[in-house]
Structure 1
Amino acid sequence: MKSKKISVLGCGWLGLPFAINRITKGDPVKGSTTTPNKLEVLKEKGITPHLFTLGESKQENYIAFLKESEVIVINFPPKRIPNIISIYQEQIQHILPFISEDQKVIFISSTSVYQNTNGEVLETLAIQPEKESGKAVAAVEKLLQEHLKDRVTIIRLSGLIGEDRLPGRFLANKKNVQNGDAPINVIHRDDCIGLINAVIEKNVWGEIINGCADKHPIRKEYYILAAKNIGLTPPNFIQQKETDFKIISNTKSKTLLGYTYIYPDPLKLIS
């Protein structure tokens, strides 16, 4: 397989291992960070490091980072701050003018853009985000689609687990937790990387694709077991007559990309 030049905007929890994965496949990879101390880490992994902060750096930094790359992976979440929606859009707008017409983009989005439907959620749903973070991500999705048209593919990832993100810690010791009977939507980091790779290798552009494990265990069953298995006090869930939920469908990721999930059952990861 011919190598591809890739730029990863945001080498954090997901971006760094993804970049390393592409290096092992023989791809030249550029990686961005806002932390000077991380430059050496990227270099040691074979990634060409670029230090800049969107909106605070010179245009030359963006141009050098994007130059000659065939695929750009935008992978940083909005910060939980006031004006989150406008600030997240402004960050993306700083780099958009420097993406050329022959470059493809993958935007790592979130299933937080979906409202609770009390049923299965497909990519065709008209989204109505309920939280500010979801609204910010939805706004950037729209911005990228308007600017890049069919050159951007959006991957909406469910709750991220794997490596140091142990679900047993998320709700340990919590009291009166709600929505205990709701099904959960999570995805392991290895499957996140697998989906991004599948988009690149199959040349799938202009799409929106959900990323989520096949199975959706009940929230209280999952988080109680997860806490017990790492020796923490499990959460206490309150009884509720009704619960709000959504079930993220991953059917499109499997049919369009031909992807088979490495970790289809979240319960097997904690049992």
Structure 2
Amino acid sequence: MQKTRISVMGCGWLGFPLAQELVKKGYEVKGSTTTPAKVDVLQTAGIEPFLLSFPENSSETDLQDFLATDVLVFNLPPSRSATDQNSYEQLLQTVLAAAPAALKVIFVSSTSVYPDLNREVKEEDAVASPSAASLMLRCEYLVQQATAQSTVVRFGGLMGGTRHPGRFLAGKTEVPQPNGPVNMIHLADCVGLLLEILQQEKWGFTFNACAPEHPTRQEFYTLAAKGLGLTPPAFALAEEEKYKIINSDFIQQELDYTFLFPDPLQCLFAPNF
């Protein structure tokens, strides 16, 4: 029986450990990077490397070879600049236009698609559309229109590995929303959830992916900074609340998944953070 082929576009903080796990589980894995020095790292890990940097260094043939696969995990984070956001959307359109009709796609999105509604938010509180103000909602729509066999995963704030939240706000002053809830997810759960989607063939879904517990910003970032021996942030006095609480019940139920790190505070003391 032929192995399932998976291409991971963007082998960085999340894509590389995901690709490594897929190799361990016997998948044929292709991985893209924009960094020439990382080509050998991918190859050593058993990942077929592709140096893809749009539009400068990527040939149409390279892209077609990369997309000669069963599943694409599109995991490229957009830049914050308006110019780069436009090119991000164009890049996604280029990839989808070059993709085979039968290709299945996981699109890594973000819970930033939700406005601050001062309440718990679920997947239906942000709807993908071609005219959405949110770049990520427009991109989700592009993916969903390109293939019905696609799933969108909206990740909360990312931590773990090289992303320690103790560094995010350390030493800052007048940090807003001290009582606002944090919406975080550990790298191990990011990888775990994506693996389950792939193994269970869960297509046609939009999922929130965020730890079920939500400590306050002041509690979380103070403890995180102290854990690294850094100066904790100083928060502003209580002000008008602006927050959202990401509800991830749906992904837990649909995948029968139990979070490895349900409480972001526990993550701060985990070995090998």
TM-score (norm 2): 0.93
- Which one-letter code corresponds to 1:139 in the other structure? R
Q: Residue 3 of structure 1: CA displacement? A: 4.0
State the alpha-carbon separation in 1 of the partners of residues 228 and 172 from structure 2: 15
Residue 235 of structure 2 corresponds to residue 237 of structure 1 = yes
Contact 1:54 1:92 in 2 (8 A): no
Asked if structure 2 preserves the Cα contact closer than 8 Å seen for 1:54 and 1:95, the reply is: no
Please report the TM-score for the alignment, with normalisation by the length of structure 1: 0.93
Query: What amino acid is the match of 1:59?
Result: E
Identity of aligned residues (%): 43
Distance 1:54 1:65 in 2: 14
Q: Shift in Å at residue 138 of structure 1?
A: 1.7
Question: Unmatched 5+ residue regions in structure 2?
Answer: none
1:147 aligns with 2:142: no
Give the Cα–Cα distance (whole angstroms) in 2 for the partners of residues 24 and 248 of structure 1. 31
Q: CA RMSD in A?
A: 1.7
Q: Residue 116 of structure 2 contacts residue 243 of structure 2 at CA under 8 Å; is this kept in 1?
A: yes
Q: Deviations over 1:74-126 (max 9, x none)?
A: 00111222324321110111111221222200001000111111111100113
Q: What aligned pairs does 1:16-165 form with structure 2 within 5 A after superposition?
A: 16-56=16-56, 57-67=58-68, 69-127=69-127, 135-148=134-147, 150-165=148-163
Distance in 2, matches of 1:7 and 1:126, equals 28
Count of residue pairs the alignment pairs up: 265
Q: What is the DSSP-based 3-state SS (H/G/I as helix, E as strand, rest coil) of the residue aligned with 1:124?
A: helix
1:6 offset after TM fit, Å?
0.4
Select between 26-35 and 138-147 the one with higher mean Cα deviation. 138-147
Runs of at least 5 residues in structure 1 that lack an aligned partner in the other structure: none
CA deviation map 1:36-60 (0-9, x unaligned): 1110010010100011213332210
Give the direction of change, closer, same or farther, for the CA distance of 1:248–1:2 in structure 2 (3 Å limit).
Answer: farther
Kindly indicate whether residue 11 of structure 2 is the aligned counterpart of residue 11 of structure 1: yes
Q: Which amino acid aligns with 2:145?
A: E
Cα distance in 1 for residues equivalent to 2:55 and 2:230 = 42
- Compute the displacement of 1:135 (Å): 2.0
Any idea what SS the aligned residue of 1:210 has? strand
Per the alignment, residue 268 of structure 2 pairs with 270
Corresponding residue SS for 2:125? coil
